[in-house]
Structure 1
């Protein structure tokens, strides 16, 4: 075998090894920034997507406000799913959202909750006796109304129902809705306001009532690709709107937007 033939053979072997290595390389993960209230449902959907496609999905769950600000500051994310329109708008105005990919994925409802062993019973209506239900020193667990979507919805609902002024000084403010949920589950607060889906996911609480939809803005969950993110995220976003994924969301109590 002459030198030229030998070099050609080595090149062919190297190319074959290179192709095999490329084929064996795992696909890049999709990084999703999502509202804390989506934790259980999105993890289930992400697991199903990975089993189906082999593409891993990583999640960062927190308050939509915190995630939007992180995305605005350049945090590495491929997809953003928020718990309200305001913080998706915030990320979009910062030029970080692929506007053409944006859509409303899910809808939810707002619930008044108590510890599972509580015997509190009330009908949510204008001027309902919320302060009486809290007792002498009890506080109302809510996402901080200054920036947490669930807390903003809660403040709006209580204001329209004529109750906010009597409880605004008695809040147990939480960094996100799941923290507010935990306050009630651990008996640190006698009552809380969270999304219905959060309440259904926590056996330590029970739903006392659902707030009238007219008492607050629609609870919409918009989803959109983050500009400069992985191209693989487009496939996962499409899967989120698929019948299989929407069935999972409905199982967790969400209403679909379609």
Structure 2
């Protein structure tokens, strides 16, 4: 199905949402969702008159903020484990959790670069030379966790671990490669597509890391009808078209 135009998307949102004037939806979302989610939120606001405020950060940081009492209505994580942590604390409304999206892990380079065959034992260290490998925090941020798992699975992690430049979010890792501060980095395919200054030189095998899933859920602090309505829209056809247009895989 081709992506819907912005006017068409707004029309679908207007028909499918139950607008409640002056309601505010507070969303905590993984940074990698920003481009697509900003579009969906803007069209939802235009169609309903409600407002959507989105706080973007690494899913690990967002989960910890929610558990610590930060006011949020919806949480969209980039990994199952951080949604699990929030749900374990009793902060997810029963029956609202759903897996929305999937993604792909890629190796990117600064500027034009030759393709790299990613497989067991590939010479990533040699590829880096004196440079650094940009990754989100490998023990906390989902993109970094997926990346570390992939490199361990392929048997190259120990060789490149001293060369990893860790950042707080996957977008920050992308920024290091885009600016030329790091020659290579590991990010999501959707992030790579958002910056023309980087080139995707290889895709990590799906079997080399846990499945990349984006679970979403309504939180117990949600009080407005618009909160549930916006969550429902995220798995509707109009939102699917936007997410797919940004390179995400639709799960539901």
Structure 1 length-normalised TM: 0.88
- Partners of 2:78 and 2:213 within 8 A in 1: yes
Q: How many residues align?
A: 232
Q: Distance in 2 between matches of 1:238 and 1:52?
A: 15
Contact 1:105 1:223 in 2 (8 A): yes
Query: Aligned residue for 1:91?
Result: 86
CA distance in 1, matches of 2:115, 2:105: 17
Give the C-alpha shift of residue 26 in structure 1: 4.8
Aligned to 2:15: none
- Once residues 121 and 46 of structure 1 are traced to their aligned partners in structure 2, the CA distance between those partners, rounded to angstroms, is 36
Residues 44-83 of structure 1: pairs in structure 2 closer than 5 A:
44-83=39-78
Query: Which residue of the partner structure matches residue 230 of structure 2?
Result: 236
Counterpart of 1:4 in structure 2 is none
* Aligned alpha-carbon RMSD (Å): 1.1
**Farther-moved stretch of structure 1 (69-78 vs 52-61):** 52-61
Q: Does 1:214 align with 2:207?
A: yes
**Higher RCO (C-alpha under 8 Å, 6+ residues apart):** 2
Moved over 3 A (4+): none
Q: Which of 131, 137, 141 is the equivalent residue of 1:138? A: 131
Inter-partner Cα distance in structure 1 for 2:103 and 2:34: 14
Tell me if structure 1 keeps the 8 A contact 2:21–2:48: no
Deviation sequence 1:136-179 (CA, Å, 0-9, x none) = x2110000111010000000000111110101111100001000
The alignment partner of 1:182 has SS state of: helix
Contact 1:92/1:99, CA 8 A, preserved across alignment: no
Match of 1:32 among 27, 32, 39: 27
Which residue does 1:198 correspond to in 2? 191
Say yes or no: does 1:154 pair with 2:138: no
Query: Contact between 1:30 and 1:230, CA under 8 Å: does it hold in 2?
Result: no
Gaps of 5+ in 2: 1-19
Is 1:120–1:133's contact at 8 Å kept on the other side of the alignment?
no
Q: Report the CA distance between 1:223 and its aligned residue.
A: 0.1
Relative distance call for 1:238 and 1:167 in structure 2 (3 A) is same
Alpha-carbon separation, structure 1, partners of 2:57 and 2:239:
21
Structure 1 position 228, deviation (Å): 1.8
Structure 1 unmatched ranges of 5 or more: 1-24
